[in-house]
Amino acid sequence: MRFDVSLMRARARNIEKLSETALACARRSEDGLNIENNDGFDTVAEVRTVRGELTELLESISGELKAAAVDLKNFADEVEGVDLDNADELRRFDEEPPMPE
**pLDDT tens digit string along 7-64?**
778 888 888 888 888 878 777 776 666 555 455 566 777 777 878 888 888 888 888 8
pTM score of the predicted model:
0.55
CA quadruple 46, 49, 55, 59: dihedral sign: negative
